[in-house]
């Protein structure tokens, strides 16, 4: 069965960096585009980033552009989100999600919590 | 970026009621819209894609309609397990954008 497991969250000071990972299993990871979505505590969902199945296309929310980088390692079936220059407003649960051919986010991980605080 | 305006922000309804949630896009997005349900403490789950197509395994009481800029999610007969927050998501252009969410409570 399809599984997505995020890791790498934690407490980090403003201005510092953190790298999130999303380990995928149960499907052909190298055939599917992937997304990151976040949710600040008690708030709504915010789309963060996209990477195409082959890594050739990447898109970002304006709020993270220039600070976050999405990447993938198909040999490890793992998606990454490198987060630099972190701000308190980046505090959120971060989810990875798989995109199907119908542009559906059909499988989601359980999320990893990032807290940016001094 | 396309702005998605969702309403209402919350509603309370009784079991068996018909519930309607709307989403309006700030520009034309064809029918490139999905609806997601998020139960407390859980990851979101897709209900509807391409504005009106029911995702496999989703109960038929959920339906979607609309195209262009105005979209609707309808729950025909509200059930206790429908307690959740519902979000629209446009996938017409990057950056994708969610609506603000509608919290559905059961009276």
CA B45 to the chain's CA centroid:
11
- DSSP 8-state secondary structure symbol assigned to residue A8: -
A to B CB pairs, distance under 8 Å: 56
Instruction: State the pLDDT confidence band at B28, using cuts at 50, 70 and 90.
Output: very high
Instruction: State the pLDDT confidence band at A50, using cuts at 50, 70 and 90.
Output: very high
- In this complex, the residue of A50, A60, A103 whose CB is nearest that of residue B32 is A103
Q: Is the CB of A52 inside 8 Å of chain B's CB atoms? A: no
Distance (Å) from the alpha carbon of A15 to chain B's nearest alpha carbon: 24
For residue range A19-30, what is the model confidence (pLDDT) as tens digits?
999 999 999 999
Mutate to test the interface with A, among B96, B98, B103 (most CBs of A within 10 A): B96
- In this complex, the residue of A60, A62, A108 whose CB is nearest that of residue B44 is A108
Q: What is the DSSP string of A33-76?
A: -EEEEEE-TTS-EEEEEEE-TTSS-EEE-TTTTTTEEEEEETTT
Do residues B72 and B46 lie in contact, with contact meaning Cβ atoms separated by under 8 Å? Answer: no
Give the containing element (helix H, strand E) for A116.
strand A112-116
- In this complex, the residue of A59, A61, A105 whose CB is nearest that of residue B46 is A105
Distance (Å) from the alpha carbon of B90 to chain A's nearest alpha carbon: 10
A102: pLDDT strictly greater than 90? no
Do residues B27 and B47 lie in contact, with contact meaning Cβ atoms separated by under 8 Å? Answer: no
In a 3-state reduction of DSSP, which class is residue B50? coil
**How many residues are there in chain A?**
118
Inspect the interface and report whether the beta carbons of B36 and A37 lie closer than 8 Å. no
CA dist., res. B10 & res. B21, Å (int): 9
For residue range B60-107, what is the model confidence (pLDDT) as tens digits?
999 999 999 999 999 999 999 999 999 999 999 999 999 999 999 999
Do residues A34 and A81 lie in contact, with contact meaning Cβ atoms separated by under 8 Å? Answer: no
Distance (Å) from the alpha carbon of A95 to chain B's nearest alpha carbon: 8
């Amino acid at each position: 069965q399809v599984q997505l497991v995020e890791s790498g969250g934690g407490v980090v000071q403003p201005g510092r960096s953190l790298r999130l990972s999303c380990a995928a299993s149960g499907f052909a990871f190298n055939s599917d585009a992937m997304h990151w979505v976040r949710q600040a505590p008690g708030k709504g969902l915010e789309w963060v980033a996209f990477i195409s199945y082959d890594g050739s296309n990447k898109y970002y929310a304006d709020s993270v552009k220039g600070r976050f980088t999405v990447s993938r390692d198909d040999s490890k079936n793992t998606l990454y989100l490198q987060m630099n220059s972190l701000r308190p407003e980046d505090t959120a649960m971060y989810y990875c999600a798989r995109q199907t051919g119908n542009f559906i986010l059909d499988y989601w991980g359980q999320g990893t919590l990032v807290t940016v605080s001094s | 970026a396309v702005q998605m305006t969702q309403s209402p922000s919350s509603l309370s309804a009784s079991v068996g009621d018909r519930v309607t949630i709307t989403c309006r896009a700030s520009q034309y997005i064809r029918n490139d819209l999905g609806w997601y349900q998020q139960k407390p403490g859980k990851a979101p789950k897709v209900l509807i894609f391409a504005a009106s197509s029911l995702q496999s395994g989703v109960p038929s009481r959920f339906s979607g309609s609309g195209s262009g800029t105005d979209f609707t999610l309808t729950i025909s007969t509200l059930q206790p397990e429908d307690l959740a927050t519902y979000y629209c998501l446009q996938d017409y252009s990057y950056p994708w954008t969610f609506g603000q969410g509608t919290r559905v409570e059961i009276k």
